[in-house]
Chains A and B, each alone.
Chain A
Amino acid sequence: MISVIGSGLGSLVAGFGLLTIKNVIMIAVGCALLYLGIKKDYEPLLLVPIGFGALLVNIPLGDMMAPGGLLRYFYDSGVLTEIFPCLIFVGIGAMTDFGPLLENPKILLLGAAGQFGIFLTLALALLLGFSKLDAVAVGVIGACDGPTAIYVTSKYAPHLLGAVSVAAYSYMSLVPLIQPPIMRALTTEKERKIRMQYPHKSVSQTLKIIFPIGVTLITCIIAPKGTPLMGMIMLGNLMRESGVVSRLTKASENEIANIVTLLLGLSIGATMEGAAFLKPQTLIVLGLGLIAICLDTVAGVLFGKLMCFLTKGKINPLIGAAGISAYPMAARVAQMEGRKYDKHNFLLMHAMGANTGGQIGSVIAAAVMLSVLKGMGII
């Protein structure tokens, strides 16, 4: 009788005995993510579920990621099948207004330059000894686009999913700290003061409706491996602009996006189990992710300077930094930097154009990369 009571009591403290130092560290990391999300307001919609997922998966005997575990179901059915990132993209498409971009389509090119960090970081990762597919996953952090990074990583380097996702979302929220020093270092005060004209003409609704259909057809035929991502973001945008399915549009940008964000965040947190996550490779991935976003900014600003030169000073190079996918943060950073040097300089709409171009650019860059990999026989 006493031995039965003893074993019953023992089972209540067994978890403490099985708690490893790695579990404790990862619980602390989870708490740090919760702190950043709740107290500092850094991407709370994602950092809160990711942080809590990291807590849950590091509780011994909780078996959250064991076969049949709750988080294992979320992960297998939503992340491994690519459903979550694609559904998030429907919501992003439904929320995005491409109007500023359509008014000045040349700005789309800044959205391409803002992706160069992906490829440069990929090359750097290869130099550091990462395998080809791991390097692809690390490079895609430079897309500055969580769903794209998750899509590519879960498909080709699932063991890096936790590190890549945390890097992508953390650095996205740190864009206001990362970008300004680079923008100031690469531009002159005269360039930062350039005022850009606002086009007098607006964009017709017909154009806004045809745009997502055309973009889907053109980009998916050029880079078919990106069809799931580009198709979903443009479907969301078509629903928004057509105005005939407002119920679906509202559901996409609210209920669906919210539910999927919760499940996606928990699933990412679930990949942060101590034994799998705490490796030197994780630190290198985090470091390379930071480099990727810095390189994106450098390439965007330098391309902005080139466009400034070619247009004889009509483009403010600061908006080049907004050619990444961190929407709308990167656009706000460009606007704030411009106003520091000229209080009456309003770059926001142009920067928004570059920023939405960056959203399209990040998906195209990932699609081009996957299609080239397919062509080379790597995937």
Chain B
Amino acid sequence: MDNFTFGFTITLVGMGGTLLTMWVLTLFVDVLKKFFPYRENQETGGEKS
């Protein structure tokens, strides 16, 4: 493989792949936040009703 093809491919796929993977992680965290919302009484160790 010549250097131009290699450089073009790795730059494009690398930047795109990194951005895509990070975007998947943002979705993952958003989903987690829906399933495990913050509840003050549990997190602060307060008395449970």
- Tell me the smallest distance from the CB of B10 to a CB of chain A, in Å: 6
Q: Identify which of B21, B23, B36 contacts A368 (C-beta below 8 A).
A: B21
- Tell me the smallest distance from the CB of A198 to a CB of chain B, in Å: 14
Give chain B's interface secondary structure class: helix
Give chain A's interface secondary structure class: helix
Q: Are B7 and A123 in contact (CB under 8 A)?
A: yes
Residue of chain B at shortest CB distance from A127: B7
Q: Are A207 and B33 in contact (CB under 8 A)?
A: yes
Which residues of A have CB within 8 Å of B14? 118-119, 122, 365, 368-369, 372
Q: Are B38 and A201 in contact (CB under 8 A)?
A: yes
Cβ < 8 Å to A, chain B residues 1-44:
1, 3-4, 6-11, 13-15, 17-19, 21-26, 28-30, 32-33, 36-40, 42-43
Asked if A51 is an interface residue, CB under 8 A from chain B, the answer is no
**Max chain B C-beta neighbours (<10 A), residue from A127, A201, A204, A360:** A204
- Size category of the B interface is 20 to 34
* Per-position 1/0 for A134-151, Cβ under 8 A of B: 011000000000000000
Which residues of A have CB within 8 Å of B33? 102, 105, 203, 207
Asked if A346 is an interface residue, CB under 8 A from chain B, the answer is no
Q: Are A204 and B38 in contact (CB under 8 A)?
A: yes
Q: Are A204 and B43 in contact (CB under 8 A)?
A: yes
- Tell me the smallest distance from the CB of A118 to a CB of chain B, in Å: 7
Which residues of B have CB within 8 Å of A201? 37-38
Cβ < 8 Å to B, chain A residues 352-379:
357, 360-361, 364-365, 368-369, 371-373, 376, 378
A210 to B10, CA, bound (A): 32
Q: Are B22 and A372 in contact (CB under 8 A)?
A: no
A residues contacting the other copy or chain, number (CB 8 A) = 47
Q: Are B22 and A120 in contact (CB under 8 A)?
A: no
Cβ < 8 Å to B, chain A residues 88-119:
102, 105-106, 108-109, 111-113, 115-116, 118-119
Which residues of B have CB within 8 Å of A112? 18-19, 21-23
Q: Are A210 and B32 in contact (CB under 8 A)?
A: yes
Residue of chain B at shortest CB distance from A115: B18
A211 to B21, CA, bound (A): 15
Q: Are B36 and A223 in contact (CB under 8 A)?
A: no
Binding site for B on A (CB under 8 A): 102, 105-106, 108-109, 111-113, 115-116, 118-120, 122-123, 126-127, 132, 135-136, 201-207, 210-211, 214-215, 218-219, 222-223, 357, 360-361, 364-365, 368-369, 371-373, 376, 378
Chain A to chain B: the 6 pairs with minimum beta-carbon distance, closest first = A105-B29, A112-B22, A368-B17, A123-B7, A119-B11, A119-B14
